[in-house]
Amino acid sequence: MVKICCIGAGYVGGPTMAVIALKCPEIEVAVVDISAPRINAWNSDHLPIYEPGLDDVVKKCRGKNLFFSTDVEKHVAEANIVFVSVNTPTKTQGLGAGKAADLTYWESAARMIADVSKSDKIVVEKSTVPVKTAEAIERILTHNRKGINFTILSNPEFLAEGTAIKDLFNPDRVLIGGRETPDGQKAILALRDVYAHWVPVERILCTNLWSAELSKLAANAFLAQRISSVNAMSALCEATGADVSQVSHSIGTDSRIGPKFLNASVGFGGSCFQKDILNLVYICECNGLPEVANYWKQVIKVNDYQKTRFVNRVVSSMFNTVSGKKIAILGFAFKKDTGDTRETPAIDVCKGLLGDKAKLSVYDPQVSEDQIMRDLAMKKFDWDHPAHLQPLSPTTNKQQVSVVWDVQEAVTDAHGICILTEWDEFKNLDYQKVYDNMQKPAFVFDGRNVVDVKKLREIGFIVYSIGKPLDSWLKDMPAVA
């Protein structure tokens, strides 16, 4: 009987293993984590992450062939296949700080696997890691445990948050990289058999280890690059009177370009894009490829520019100051259908507005007050961040930020509204009521292109929507950079 253990019960480990358990009833799947609160939540009615469809999958398998546990060592020792899906954040200190991946968690997981193993194992890199990590992991495993055969595979995850279950049920592809040795090839087939329970075999791609590791970084870099490309166009649209939605549609109908991932926005967020591109940049630099590194660095620079541009647009439109003015922040998560706020553009926009002494009233249907306060006080690595986006002290945040659970409360008496997440409910708000309750002139700054600009202007709002022809009010304001 195949036994799977996954180290790391996070956004990837939890949903991925739940789907494997659902699709492979004869396989026992244990998801383990050092965080007891996280495991307790997985074993409760309130799962630690919000993901459409996830509750259903977990309910169907939990206690049958899906188990969540803090007994990491026991489950690792018993498994034939060990997935490692721990976090791999950007280093904040030391060599490569602000760019390189911090593999502390991965290394400690690998050392633990070596310590507790009594039988041969396939060890699968599920986390996103720098190219050649498998070589380092192999060294840790084999140097610390003689006589046991560890075979390393790279099986990067391509799910996106908010659509994780849909993506896992019907992936564009599953990628498995392994050594070009008999053991490596045998391990690839064993893992392929797991996915083949529900993924057509032609969609299971098998490559060498380094191609699989690099493909993950490359995929995220290409995706993020599309967003920075369309966001760069959005600035030009605003300057020229073109409409970025029309430009996206026009270029997206070219089958070589395709229509997806061309929505201009206040900037991309999430735990992956920035981290993985920085990691890619660092690898390029380490390999003596500064031109390639600079090329990818630009994707992040444009993303930072887009967030700064948005803040500047808000401040300059409102008579060049937001000091003491109430601004409603609608949406704090990095995208809709998730409560995840890691690297959300809302953090940078809120910090920018707080830097100009605004009073913020934040509403997000899935993000708690604690999380928002923590995010705004948190010091993150300050790679290439403009001075006005530097972290503020927690005390300042408490005085300037309130978090509410009702949109109308957020907007009442506000001078302006910033829409920072594309939650569906923001499309269909009663904007007449919103307008009536706001200070005048009433501004809407739509960072996600969700509102009907024409309708809102008819109500009386001054509307800014990314990449759309500017309101005559905004045209008269000083240019923003």
Name the residue among 420, 325, 337, 415 with its Cα closest to residue 372. 420
Q: Binding string, 211-250, against ligand UDX, x = CB under 6 A?
A: ---------x--x---x-----------------------
CA 394 distance to own-chain centroid = 24
The CA distance from 165 to 47, in Å, is 14
C-beta of 159 vs 327, nearer to ligand NAD: 159
C-beta of 20 vs 72, nearer to ligand UDX: 20
The CA distance from 334 to 345, in Å, is 7
Annotated catalytic residue within 6, 61, 272, 418? 272
Q: Decide: is 268 part of the binding site for ligand UDX (CB under 6 A).
A: yes
Which residues have C-beta within 8 Å of that of residue 39, sequence separation ≥ 6?
Answer: 9, 32, 33, 68, 69, 70
Q: Decide: is 28 part of the binding site for ligand UDX (CB under 6 A).
A: no
Among 105, 158, 210, 473, which residue sits at the site for ligand UDX (rule: CB under 6 A)?
158
Q: Binding string, 31-70, against ligand NAD, x = CB under 6 A?
A: --xxx--x--------------------------------
Which segments are annotated as binding site?
Answer: 8-13, 33, 38, 86-90, 127-128, 161, 272-275, 342
Q: Rounded to the nearest whole angstrom, what is the least distance from the CB of residue 114 to ligand NAD in the complex?
A: 13
How many CB atoms lie under 10 A from the CB of residue 147?
A: 6
The CA distance from 232 to 248, in Å, is 12
Q: What is the DSSP string of 164-223?
A: HHHHHHS-S-EEEEE-SSHHHHHHHHHHHHHHTTTS-GGGEEEEEHHHHHHHHHHHHHHH
CA-to-CA separations, 460 to 19, 273, 433, 447, in angstroms, rounded: 49, 38, 12, 19
Q: Rounded to the nearest whole angstrom, what is the least distance from the CB of residue 349 to ligand UDX in the complex?
A: 12
Among 7, 168, 191, 223, which residue sits at the site for ligand NAD (rule: CB under 6 A)?
7
Residue whose CB is nearest to ligand NAD in the complex, by number: 10
Is 206 a residue of the active site? no
Among 72, 224, 293, 463, which residue sits at the site for ligand NAD (rule: CB under 6 A)?
72
Among 6, 159, 277, 367, which residue sits at the site for ligand UDX (rule: CB under 6 A)?
159
The CA distance from 377 to 479, in Å, is 30
Q: Decide: is 90 part of the binding site for ligand NAD (CB under 6 A).
A: no
How many CB atoms lie under 10 A from the CB of residue 286?
A: 13
Q: Decide: is 85 part of the binding site for ligand NAD (CB under 6 A).
A: yes
Among 117, 133, 263, 317, which residue sits at the site for ligand UDX (rule: CB under 6 A)?
263
Q: Decide: is 50 part of the binding site for ligand UDX (CB under 6 A).
A: no
Q: Decide: is 86 part of the binding site for ligand NAD (CB under 6 A).
A: yes
Among 65, 90, 117, 127, which residue sits at the site for ligand NAD (rule: CB under 6 A)?
127
Q: Decide: is 446 part of the binding site for ligand UDX (CB under 6 A).
A: no
Q: What is the DSSP string of 410-436?
A: HHTT-SEEEE-S--GGGTS--HHHHHH
Name the residue among 406, 417, 409, 375 with its Cα closest to residue 392. 375
Q: Rounded to the nearest whole angstrom, what is the least distance from the CB of residue 194 to ligand NAD in the complex?
A: 18
Burial profile 439-478: b = 16 or more Cβ within 10 angstroms, e = fewer = eeebbbbbbbbbbebeebeeeebbbbbbbbbbbeebeebe
Q: Decide: is 270 part of the binding site for ligand UDX (CB under 6 A).
A: yes
Catalytic machinery residues: 272
Site of interaction with ligand NAD (CB under 6 A): 7-13, 33-35, 38, 72, 85-88, 105, 108-109, 127-128, 157, 159, 161, 271-272
